[in-house]
Structure formats: C-alpha cells, structure tokens
Amino acid sequence: MGQMGKDAALNQGVKNRKRREKHYWEDWIGRIYTSICVVVLLVVIVSIVFFVSSKGLATFLENGVRLREFFTGTRWSPDESFGALPFITGSFAVTLLAALIAGPLSLCAALFMTEILPGRGKRILQPAVELLSGIPSVVYGFIGLTVIVPFIRDYIGGQGFGILAGCLVLSVMILPTITSIMADALASLRGGLRESSLALGATRWQTIYRVVIPTVLPALLTGIVLGMARAFGEALAVQMVIGNAPHIPSSLTESAATLTSTITLSMGNTAMGSVHNNALWSMALVLLAMTFVFVILVRLLERRNRI
Amino acid sequence: MKKKLPWTLMLGSLLLSLAACGGSDEAANDPGGAGSEAGERKLSGSILAVGSTAMQPLVDQAGQTFMTQAPYQELTVQVQGGGSGTGLTQVSEGQADIGNSDVFGEEKLEAAQAAELVDHQVAVVAITAVVNPAVTIDDLSKEQMVDIFTGAVKNWKELGGEDQEIVIVNRPASSGTRATFETFALGQSKLPDLQGSIQEDSSGTVKKLVAETPGAIGYLALSYLGDDSIKPVNYDGVQATVENVQNGSYPVWAYQHMYTKGEPSEAVQAFLDYMVSPEVQEGDVVELGYIPVSGMQVTRDAAGNVSKN
C-alpha cells in the first residue's frame, strides 16, 4: 500500500516535471520567435530609413545642391536647378484640403454609426465605407481623370487638372481610414457619461456636441492625422489628376505637382546616381520626415487622450 | 533584465542593419536582387531585358516567339519595364543582360559608364505632334512648334486657328520620347516646363488627354495613331509616315536601343540577332507600329549627325 503510494507520488512528480519542462520550452520558443520577428522588423525599418537618407542626402553632400535652394527655390529644371518648393506646397495643399473635406464627412458617418442608429446604421454604413478602402488607387485616379477633371473643366473653369481635382480624389480615398478610427473612438466612450448627460435632461444633440465629441476629441484628431498621412503619401491617383507642372499654381484648377507625383513620374527614367535621381530621393526623404511628424503627432494626441 | 530587453533588441537590430547597409553600394542598389546568374552560360538559362516601356511590347512579343524556336527552347527571356534610365543603370551595373533604351546611353549615363556599353539598334520610332481634333490647324512649321512649346504663343488664334488657349500635354523631363521630340522637332534640349502645362508619364494617357482637352497639343509615337480621336500635325509640311522617316525627310525619330555591357554572351547574342532578323523586322516591328531599322536609308550617331547610307 505504502509502496503503491510512493510509486504514485513518484509518477506524479515525473509527470509534473515533464509538464513543467514542456511549458518551459514552449515559453522559450515563443520568446525566441517573437524576438526574431521584432529584430527583422526593426532591421527592415532602419535599413529603409538609412537607404533613403543616404540617397537623399547625397544631393546636398555630393552634388552640392544647396539646402536653401531645395526648400525655397521655385525653379525645377533637372540638371540645373532644383527648387522643390512647388512640390512641397502642392503636397501640403492637397493634404490639408482633403482633410478639410473628409474630416466632417467622416465625423458625421461615425456619429451616425455609433450614436444615431447604432445597430442597423453600423451594419449598412460600415461595410459601405470599408469597401472604399479596397479599391486600388489606379482606379481612383482613372475615375478622377475621366469624371472629375472634365467636370471641373466644364463647370468650374480652368484646366480641370490641379489641386482641386487632387484633393477631391484624395478625400474619398481617406474617408474609410478616418471613419473607422473615429467610429472606434466614439464606441469606446467610457460608460455612464452618455447616460448621465441624457439623465440630466440634455437632448441627443447636446449630448453629442457637449459631452461625446469633447471627450474623445484627441482620438478623433488622431483619425484625421492618420488620414492626412495616407493622403500625403498617395502617389498614383494624385499623379493622374494633378497635371504635374512643376510650378506653384495660380489657382486651384491649374496644373500643379506634389512630391509623390513627381517621384513616380521621373524615378524610372533617371539613371541611379545622377543628380536628378538623387534629388528625387531627397523628396522621398522629405516624405519620410513628414510621415515621422505625423506619427509623433498621433503619439502626442494619444498621450492627451489618457489624461 | 526585463526592462533591458527592448533596448538590447533595438541596439542589436541597429547594428545589424548598419552592417547590412555597410556603405556597400552594390548591396544597396540591388533591389530584390534582379540579377542574372553570373559565370558561363550555355544556351540555356535566362535572359533579362529591362528598361524602356515604349519598347516593352516589341521585345516582349519577339521574346515569346524566340523561346518557341527549336535551338532556344532551353532559354527564357524575361522583359521588364521601368524606364530607359532604369534599363541603362541596370545593364551597366550588371544586374540585367540587356538594357532597353529609347535614347543613346551617352545621354543618361556618365561617359565612362556609357563607354562600356555596346549598342544594338533594333527598331526606329517616329514621333509626331498631335492636337485635339477641334483644333483647325494641320501643319506647323518648326518655328511655330518652338513658339508653342516655349510658351511664346499661348492661343491658337495667333497661329491662324480658333480663339482657344493652347494646353500643352507633355511627357516628364526625364522621358526619352520627350528628349527625342525636343531635340529633333524643336532643335533644343531640356526645355523648362511651363506654368499650366500637363505632364503625364504614359503615351496612353497623353492620347486620352489630347483627345478630351480642348486646344490640347502633345506628341506621340506613330503606333498610337490610327483612330480619329486625335489629329496628327504635319511638321514643316512633311507628314509623319514610315516612308518619310526611312528616306530621311521626316526628322523626328529615334532608335530603339538594346544595350549590353561589353560583348554579349552567346545566348544574348542569339536573341539580339533574332531581333534584327527579317522575321522580326518585317513581322513584329511593323505589326506593333515601329519602323524596321533594316529599311532606314539614313543613319544617325549619338551626336545627332544624320548621314545617307
């Protein structure tokens, strides 16, 4: 009897140790696998930043283009003069205007899905908005080229190409990004706030604009900033409708250019290592720096959100 | 220890990636390693031709039929676009076997790099100015074209047409088609882009825009003509036709080059020979709207000097 008990205890001990060892190994495998993935990711990111920086800085270090000329010059004539200001202004103009158009639209869509018709509204509107994010940008560009550009030319005037066409196309493209982030933010509103406000006798609209929106404002702005980052980096669709003249346009309906459209237009036709090619990499570096700024903005907004 | 882990990760990965980049340009300039296998090549293996999108249909189609022929069934021909600059860069760095370009290599590369390349001219492309069909002008002199593309003339009525603003539909400054048009039609190089001009990077888009935009003028290769959506314009009274290009009376044309670095390998040479064989010159070349290089009665060198054969 005692012998049997001892055996059982021994068996139990062996089993336990085996189980412990198994856990121990599983733990380590998980840890190593995750670490490898993280290292690979970091290596890729750092390599990309390093590559773009080394190419982009070569314009100033090796080819002797002056920083001031690049950022404030308005004459872009490859091999002679590298003023990238028209592209920088173009990029900012389409991005800001697209955010101005898409921001309010997205906010209303998100409010509709979370506050006004939470059940059915969300079921119908969310898939509809998310569909927009699945359309490839070349399709947006082509629709812009065949529908928006002639429309602007015939009914608003000018050439049809330009910042106006560009920001209209972009605003539709960034709608899903902004809407889904805003809807998540509104849905995650702390319990009780909404109900308390209604219990105090506030109407639904008063609740929305006095309680709901101010509370989740940083998260809403995060949505807009991420949308802007997407607009700033979009190349193909913008290139098709903006006209690509390397000048600061005199109106919203005159041919203009952005950083991304200029890069996609010329990268393939210039030889690696030439000044023209390096100048394009410098523009890519500016885009990278801007994305970095957008990321920092989002971080700041998140920090504000926690308080 | 727990707290330190992310830092060690970050540091480790930083060191790794710096080591990977390591200032070695060859490694950095080989995106995706589209290299060809070095060393000796029998008539099997693959030929990689990269470059001009204007030449892609021709090289692609010829490559397809080349691979079906008995002696070359072991070979595969891969054709990629990317633009003339990319083609020249990749062939001079040894990443591609053939660099397709619609301009002479001397125009894009450093003199030393260009000197290493061997030129194989496989076809000719003629370029003509085209206007929106509503424009009433059929003929432009060289001076008038220069006035239009330098912005001296902004309205068609100054050239005897309707009162309609001229909209220039250009190719980007780096495009081979644009370089050809500026050099041989306007006699200038590297014209600045005008305020309000439109630049598009593909001939298909240029055609669409000229067809739709009132008062538009652009330029296209002959292969893009053939319907009434756009109207070709005569140059100094000469129409852009295959015959006029071959006898030297129409000046706006360029060779389609296939460059190799040094003398080509046996397999690549076989493919290049096939490109200039009657089968391709009188078949694919004509069919796709290019002009056979074999029928040219004039030749032109890299400096632009034309001589009768």
Domain boundaries, chain A: 1-62, 68-305
Query: Are A39 and B9 a contacting pair at CB < 8 A?
Result: yes
DSSP character for A91?
Answer: H
Flag whether pLDDT at A148 surpasses 50. yes
The answer to whether residues B89 and B252 touch, using CB atoms and an 8 Å cutoff, is: no
pLDDT of residue B108: 84
Query: Are A79 and B190 a contacting pair at CB < 8 A?
Result: yes
Identify the weakest region by mean pLDDT among A18-32, A238-252, B140-154, B158-172.
A18-32
Flag whether pLDDT at A267 surpasses 80. yes
The answer to whether residues B268 and B98 touch, using CB atoms and an 8 Å cutoff, is: yes
Run of H or E including B130: strand B117-131
pTM, rounded to two decimals: 0.80
For residue B20, the chain A residue with the least C-alpha distance is A47
Flag whether pLDDT at B271 surpasses 70. yes
Top CATH class of B126-247 equals alpha beta
Task: Enumerate residues 233 to 262 of chain A having a beta carbon within 8 A of any beta carbon in chain B.
Answer: 239-240, 243-247, 249-250, 254-255, 257
Query: Are B13 and A254 a contacting pair at CB < 8 A?
Result: no
pLDDT (tens digit per residue) in A6-17? 677 667 777 777
A51 contacts chain B (CB < 8 A): yes
Instruction: Please state the domain extents for chain B.
Output: 44-124+255-308, 126-247
The average pLDDT across B221-227 equals 85
Characterize A117-153 residue by residue with b for buried, 16 or more Cβ atoms within 10 angstroms of its Cβ, and e for exposed. Answer: eeeebbeebbeebeeeeeeebeebbbbbbeebbeebb
The average pLDDT across A99-120 equals 91
Angle separating helix axes A275-306 and A85-111, nearest 10 degrees: 30
Residues, chain B: 309
- The full 3-state SS of A218-236, as one line of letters, equals HHHHHHHHHHHHHHHHCCH
Query: Are A247 and B176 a contacting pair at CB < 8 A?
Result: no
Max distance between CA atoms of chain A, in angstroms, equals 101
Give the architecture-level CATH label for domain A68-305: Orthogonal Bundle (1.10)
The average pLDDT across A160-187 equals 93
**C-alpha–C-alpha distance, residues B294 and B13, integer Å:** 57
Max distance between CA atoms of chain B, in angstroms, equals 83
Cα four-point dihedral sign B141, B189, B307, B85: negative
The average pLDDT across B144-169 equals 92
pLDDT of residue B6: 54
Confidence of residue B36 (pLDDT cuts 50, 70, 90): very low
Chain A residue numbers with beta carbons less than 8 Å from the beta carbon of B20 are 43, 47
Token pair belonging to A236: 């193909």
**C-alpha–C-alpha distance, residues B49 and B90, integer Å:** 9
Candidates B120, B138, B117, B90; CA nearest to B272 is B120
**Residue where the block lists tokens 């049809």:** A160
pLDDT of residue B193: 87
- The better pLDDT of the pair A93, B56 is held by A93
Chain B residue numbers with beta carbons less than 8 Å from the beta carbon of A274 are 85, 108
Cα-flanking dihedrals φ and ψ of residue A119, to 5°? -75, -75
Facing residues of B155 across strands? B165
pLDDT of residue A121: 82
Test the B interface: residue of A269, A277, A281 with most B CBs within 10 Å = A269
- Mean of per-residue pLDDT scores for chain A: 89
**C-alpha–C-alpha distance, residues A103 and A221, integer Å:** 9
The average pLDDT across B44-51 equals 88
Report whether CATH 3.40.190.10 matches the domain B44-124+255-308: yes
pLDDT of residue A224: 94
Chain B residue numbers with beta carbons less than 8 Å from the beta carbon of A239 are 201
Query: Are A254 and B196 a contacting pair at CB < 8 A?
Result: yes
